Amino acid sequence: MTRERALQLRAMIEKASVSLPDEDALEAVELFPAWAADTAYAADQRVRYGGSSGTPTPTLYKCVQGHTSQADWTPDKTPALWTEVAKPGEIPVWRQPTGVQDAYNKGDRVHYPDADGPVYESTVDANVYSPEAYPAGWRLV
């Protein structure tokens, strides 16, 4: 196979990966294009980011709102633009929402204050407060 053909196939694979459900996409993060600065991203587009020596496997992120990326707007640092794709059933650590796009909804579960903390379930939609700041908005599970 020639390099040119391999690049053509890679482009087809990336195009086909768009239709994968998140659960399957998490099994093949490497199929998704790497995040890059100065690139236009559309809402719901998925990219891989990370994968350095500290984190051997890259993380899959989904674009929350369309934008053109900047070097200092990496997916791990801009929750208003990117959200990490989580494994179904996995309970994430509570993270301060930046707006309606990443607010917690009724039934969402989180660990608080860290990964070893207890699990809380949101009792309201559009919850942007921590269990500590707004206890009435959370139920200890």
Distance, in Å, from the CA atom of 94 to the CA atom of 89, rounded to the nearest integer, reads: 15
pLDDT in tens, 48-102: 998 765 656 799 999 988 999 999 999 989 988 998 898 878 898 998 988 777 8
Provide the pairing of β-strand 67-68 with 82-84.
unpaired
- Residue 72 has phi, psi (to 5 degrees) of -95, 10
